[in-house]
Amino acid sequence: MGDSKRHPRVRPAALRRISSVAVAGIVAATLVSSSVPAQAPDAATGSDSLLARIDGDNGDVNAAGAQVRVVGTATSVQAAAASIYINATVSGPVSVAGAQVIVNSDITGSVRAGGAMIELQGKIGGAVHAGGAVVRFNAEASDDVALGGASVEVGEGARIDGNLTAGAASVTIAGTISGETHARGAAVVFNGTAANTVTIGAEEVFIGADANITGDLVVQSDNEPNIADGATITGQVRLEEPSRFWLLPTWLWGIVAAAVMAVGAVLAALILLLIGRGTFEEALDKAAFHPISSGLIGLAVLVVLPIVAVLLMTSVIGLSFGFALLAILPFLFVAGHATMAACIGVWIFDRSGGPRTVGQLVIYTIAGAVIIAIVWLIPWVGGPVALVAGLVGIGAYLRALSARMRRRDPEPV
């Protein structure tokens, strides 16, 4: 087929939808529950080395450190580190998370990998889920493969017996897929062999000269696919309208996000009232009467906490504490948002300073959350204003919590 060949636009009764790859979910699923190495580091590395070289010895491997290298045989592998290299025979599942993850193994079970740069080679018997900034897959897989990231590459040596799902800004596929292929991104290049239907959703679609597609080629795009001379497509080539789910107007997405923020603030306020009403009410006073100092505390926490967490994660002992500190950040944002929403509602509707019922506090929070959501929708200004409000709320809640802990007063019911 030549580059200039045009294909008729077909509107099928139902559009095929690509299953999404949730990168964040993959990374969360790969976090290791234990930060203690399965075996002491190799003697050659020294006792104070950050490199843990582990021989599975037919057992379960649970490892953490700056660098983790797993060799030999193992029944399962769970690892979290800045750099992970696995060159072992594993009879069970593998779950890994790190900045750099390289797997070149014979794995009977499934593989879950999350990180900045991921390379998967060897043989994999179970399903594969991998998400990261750069994901390179060049393995033989007997089951389905799902890959997501900024850049996804399926190499020429890849052999996938199941289905392939790939989502990224840039997707390149050059392997052999027996099942269906679903790819979505800004630009998708297919130059491999597919024994079934290939569905591609992208602004730019390139079919290389070495492409061999036994089934149909379904292109979900506003643009015609670029099909090189020499490409073989046994089935039909169909051009369909792209999914409009991601093409909603920006203003509509803004309203949806604002509504979610408002609901989240109200739910968070209910939880904070349940676990510590006194602390929450004291936080409202801190935000109202000390907004500048509270905002500076919130900003300091936002800057310092990630730095401390990263420093802790460079050591084996501190890895779990580092992850725990990072996990606190979302809670602080939610608590700060709820605190500021309630503070705004109280400032508008009730400045008496007298006691307030839980019902009144919830109503004030709803009003404040709606106001913050409306402000957030203002172009250019709304985002920074909402961020500053959140920082004030974070600092106020931390100050109230610290004061309560120092006094050790029981929380009122």
Q: Is residue 125 within 8 Å of 108, Cβ to Cβ? A: yes
- Look up residue 9 and give its DSSP letter: B
- How far CA 96 is from CA of 26, 74, 111, in Å, comes to 10, 14, 8
Domain boundary among 246, 273, 301: 246
Per residue in 14-64, pLDDT tens? 333 333 333 333 333 333 333 333 333 332 333 233 455 676 567 888 887
- The answer to whether residues 197 and 258 belong to one domain is no
From 201, 223, 246, the end of a domain falls on: 246
Calculate the CA 248 to chain-centre distance.
22
Question: Are 240 and 259 in a shared domain?
Answer: no
Cα Dmax for the chain: 80
190 token code pair = 């297919």
Residue 3, domain member (yes or no):
no
pLDDT surpassing 80 at residue 128: yes
Residue at 224 is within a domain: yes
The model's confidence at residue 112, banded by pLDDT at 50, 70 and 90, is very high
225 and 351 share one domain: no
**Range from 133-137, 225-229, 349-353 carrying the lowest mean pLDDT:** 349-353
Dist. CA 261–CA 240, nearest whole Å: 35
- Tally of residues, the chain: 413
Task: Kindly report the average pLDDT of the chain as a whole number.
Answer: 82
Residue 7 resides in a domain: no
HSE (side-chain half, CA atoms, 13 Å) at 236: 9
pLDDT attached to residue 245: 57
Backbone angles phi, psi at 83, to 5 degrees: -130, 125
What is the pLDDT at residue 50?
A: 46
Residues 207 and 308 in one domain: no
**What domain range includes position 274?**
250-407
Q: Which two tokens stand for residue 68?
A: 């983790």
Q: Are residues 175 and 296 in the same domain?
A: no
Residue whose C-alpha is closest to residue 130's, from 147, 143, 115: 147
Residue 190 burial class via C-beta count within 10 angstroms: exposed 0-12, middle 13-18, buried 19 and up:
buried
Both 181 and 314 in one domain: the answer is no
Q: Please report whether residue 133 resides in a domain.
A: yes
Domain count, the chain: 2
- Answer yes or no: do 270 and 208 share one domain: no
Let me know whether 365 and 385 are in one domain: yes
CB 115 within 8 A of CB 134: no
Tell the residue number behind the tokens 């792209």, with chain if given: 242
Rounded-to-integer distance, Cα 191 and Cα 202, Å? 15
Beta bridge partners of 237: 217
Is 355 within a domain?
Answer: yes
Co-location of 296 and 271 in the same domain: yes
Cα 307 from Cα 314, distance rounded (Å): 11
Of 24, 243, 16, nearest in space to 148 by CA: 24
- For residues 42 and 53, the answer to whether their CB atoms sit within 8 Å is yes
In this structure, is residue 403 part of a structural domain?
Answer: yes
Same domain flag for 241 and 259: no
Mean pLDDT along residues 195-206:
94
CA-based torsion, 322, 324, 330, 333: positive or negative: negative
Contacts of 336 by beta carbon, 8 Å cutoff, 6+ apart:
298, 390, 391, 392, 393, 394, 395, 396, 397
One domain for residues 235 and 265: no
DSSP β-bridge partners for residue 51: 67
CB 193 within 8 A of CB 173: no
pLDDT score at 232: 95
Task: Judge whether residue 293 has pLDDT over 50.
Answer: yes
3-state secondary structure of 294: helix
What pLDDT, on the 0 to 100 scale, is given for residue 62? 87
Residue 4 has pLDDT above 50, yes or no: no
Of 79-93, 99-113, 178-192, 334-348, the poorest mean pLDDT is in 79-93
Answer whether residue 387 is part of any domain: yes
* pLDDT the model gives residue 45: 32
Q: Which residue has the higher pLDDT, 216 or 412?
A: 216
Do 242 and 254 share a domain, yes or no? no
**pLDDT (tens digit, 9 = 90+) per residue, 229-254?**
999 999 999 998 876 555 556 677 77
% pLDDT > 90, the chain: 52
Q: Of the residues 192, 214, 246, which one is the last residue of a structural domain?
A: 246
Is the pLDDT at 322 greater than 90? The verdict is: no
* 4 within domain boundaries: no
